[in-house]
Amino acid sequence: MLDGIPMPPLRRSRLSQAWLALTVVLTLHIIEGALRDYLSFYNPLAMSLRDTLLWTWMPTFTLAAWLGGWIVILGVLYGMTWFAVYNARWIIWAAIAYAEVMFLYAAAKLGFAIYLEKAIPGVFTAPLLVIAASWLTVEALLALRRPSA
C-alpha cells in the first residue's frame, strides 16, 4: 500500500521479461552499430536511394543525433517495462507491434547482408533480435489469452 492506495501484487511477468530481453538485445544491437560505424554504411545508402527512387523520407544522421535519438528511444522502451510487469492490456498490443517491427527489421538486415555477401554493421546481433522478438511475440499472445486481473 502506498499512502493508502492499494497496489496490485508485484508478480514476475514473463511478458515483462521478454520485453526487457528484447530491449537489452536492441541496446546491444545499437552498440554494435556504433562500434562498427553503421552511419558510414547507412548515410550513403540513404542518399543513393533518395536520389534514385526520389524517396525524401530517408534522413541522414550525424553520430550525435543518431545516438541521442536511440538513447531517448531506449529510455522509453526500458520505462515501458514497468507496464509489462502488470500486464496492462495496452502494453500487450504494444508488445506485439514492438516485437514484429524488430523481427522484420532484423530479418531485413540479415537478408540484406546475405544479398550483399558481407557482414554489414548490426548483422552479428540481428539473430539475437529475431530470437528475442519471437519470444516477446509468444509471451504477448499468451498474455492475450489470459483473463484480465
pLDDT level of residue 148 (50, 70, 90 thresholds): low
pLDDT, one tens digit per residue, over 93-105 is 999 999 999 999 9
Return the pLDDT at 45: 86
Return the pLDDT at 94: 96
Domain that holds residue 29: 22-145
Sign, CA torsion 137/141/144/146: negative
Q: Is residue 8, in this structure, part of any structural domain at all?
A: no
DSSP codes, 76-98: HHHHHHHHHHTT-HHHHHHHHHH
Q: Is residue 14, in this structure, part of any structural domain at all?
A: no
pLDDT, one tens digit per residue, over 26-56 is 999 999 999 999 988 888 888 888 888 876 6
Q: Please say if the pLDDT value at position 108 is more than 90.
A: yes
Cβ burial, residue 100 (10 Å; 0-12/13-18/19+) = middle
